[in-house]
Amino acid sequence: MSSSSSPPLPGTGKVEDLSPGYADGDRGALLKEVLRAAAADGGPGGSSSSSDPGRCPVKGDTVVMHYVGTLKDGGQQFDSSRDRGKPFRFTLGQSEVRGWDLGLATMKRGELAILTVRADLAYGDTGIPPKIPRGATLCFEVELLDFGEDLTPDQSGGVIRRVLEPGEGPDHPNEDSSVMVSFRALGGGKEGEEAAREMSFTLGEGTEVGVPRWVELAVEKMKKGERSRLTVSPEYNKEQGAFAVDYEVIVKSFELAKERGQLDGVQTLEQAKLYKDKGTKFFLSGNLQLARKKYDKAILFLEHEILQGEQEYTRRQLLQATKLNLAECQFKARNWIAAKIICDKMIMEIMEGDGSKAAGGEQQVVRAAFLRGEAMMQALLCRIVQMEDNMSQRFNQLSGGFNQLSGEFNQLSGEFNQLSGRVAILEDSGRNSVPKSVSHESVSRSTPTTPSAALSSDSDPPRANSASVDGL
């Protein structure tokens, strides 16, 4: 059941039934036999991520493994990651072979086992002909190489989080939570290990105080007291110098940020103003990405809130001011169309709600209209520049084609002149090489003799000659 690169190992003889319906008497659907238990250091050779040797992968973890698949009946191999020379990677809980999800969830890093999977937990009654017959029971020799939570958007495995010590409670920090964390870099292009740094910051603003972005992203997934190891590959660590690095991260404590539904009217206004002020601070410092996030959060708190009296006046005034700031932010980020759309919507809302007479609406409309015109002009200029660039590129292409044709024409013209010269030389050599006998004959034919030159004056020309002349 092993490939040539992984020689068969003797089993322990102990087979564990992992069938999901075992308690109800449905047995034999999934069997597991351990060929090699996980080492105490978490895997053969002691991997760099082996600080949690007793942990098994959970749903959502990215699992890295080698496998060799064979048919139980006949033992014919139908697939092997070892033969391809590349470990297989998938997200636990999303495999097309349910037996993998169940079996690998019981394995530890470095463990080697045989999973015998009945058809209903594999490819069912349809199979995958011709390699896997219908209703076939399959055997997989599986080696669990590594696992963890993949934090990259494209699930490329470039940033993996592994839980070293579980945390407490059900909650994770949400955006804008106040968190206190301890983290340190474990090697990674530097000699030795960094001393742990303990920092308090607002989640989502960590980069402003020197927290690596992947550390901050990991904190969002962690619980209070949890300790995790973060492995970052070079392509995802360009800010730090494009080298591989591991971080150890501990969440000391956090205070959840309140959601909109947890606040009353006054608290909503206060929180929205706090977000707007933070957005303005980031806008002035040039961090447009964070500025947009804060403005968006303020608008979310204000847009669907309905208050009364003075609070409603304040809400509308704050909402329109925040939207105008967001449009300015988009304008500065050169997102001209986005800025125009915000201004259009803002003007319509103010005018339809008769807001021009309240909450400083008239001034807001003027400012929004001016910014809208600026955004349209910039968008138009960009379009013109783009068209000019396209025309310039097209002209250069045509010019290059013309130059190429001109060069080819000049080349052909030169070849034609060479041929003309050769023809002239041949004609001259032909005239100079005509035989003398031929020249005399042609001269005699071109200068006829008179009869008096050939005959006596008193003789008549012979008739034969006359006949010859008549016949000419």
Q: From first to last of the 472 residues of the chain, give the pLDDT tens digit.
A: 333 334 444 455 689 999 998 888 899 999 999 999 987 655 443 343 444 556 889 888 889 999 999 999 999 999 999 999 999 999 898 888 999 999 999 999 999 999 999 999 999 999 999 999 999 999 999 999 989 988 988 888 889 998 888 899 889 999 999 999 999 988 655 544 678 899 999 999 998 998 998 999 999 999 999 999 999 988 888 877 778 889 999 999 999 998 888 888 889 999 999 999 999 999 999 999 999 999 999 999 998 888 888 888 889 889 999 999 999 999 999 998 999 999 999 888 888 765 545 556 778 888 899 999 999 988 888 888 878 777 878 888 888 888 888 888 888 888 888 888 888 888 777 776 655 554 444 444 444 544 444 434 444 444 444 443 343 2
- Paired with 159 in beta bridges are 232
pTM for this model (two decimals) = 0.61
- Phi/psi class of residue 245: alpha, beta or left (left: φ > 0; alpha: ψ in -120 to 50)? beta
**CA torsion angle for 197, 202, 205, 206 (degrees, to 10)?**
10
- Res 6: pLDDT: 40
Question: How far is the C-alpha of 247 from the C-alpha of 57, rounded, in Å?
Answer: 20
Please state the φ and ψ torsions of residue 353, each to the nearest 5 degrees.
Answer: -90, 10
- Which residue, 163, 159, 70, is CA-closest to 109? 163
Question: How far is the C-alpha of 24 from the C-alpha of 221, rounded, in Å?
Answer: 36
- Res 62: pLDDT: 87
**8 Å CB contact between 160 and 151:** yes
Q: Is 379 helix (H, G, I), strand (E, B) or coil?
A: helix
- Res 78: pLDDT: 96
Question: How far is the C-alpha of 30 from the C-alpha of 22, rounded, in Å?
Answer: 10
Ordered structural domains, the chain, with CATH = 15-146 (3.10.50.40), 159-255 (3.10.50.40), 260-379 (1.25.40.10)
- Paired with 134 in beta bridges are none
Question: How far is the C-alpha of 442 from the C-alpha of 109, rounded, in Å?
Answer: 110
Question: How far is the C-alpha of 418 from the C-alpha of 381, rounded, in Å?
Answer: 54
Q: Please state at what angle helix 265-285 crosses helix 309-332, rounded to 10 degrees.
A: 20
- Res 354: pLDDT: 52
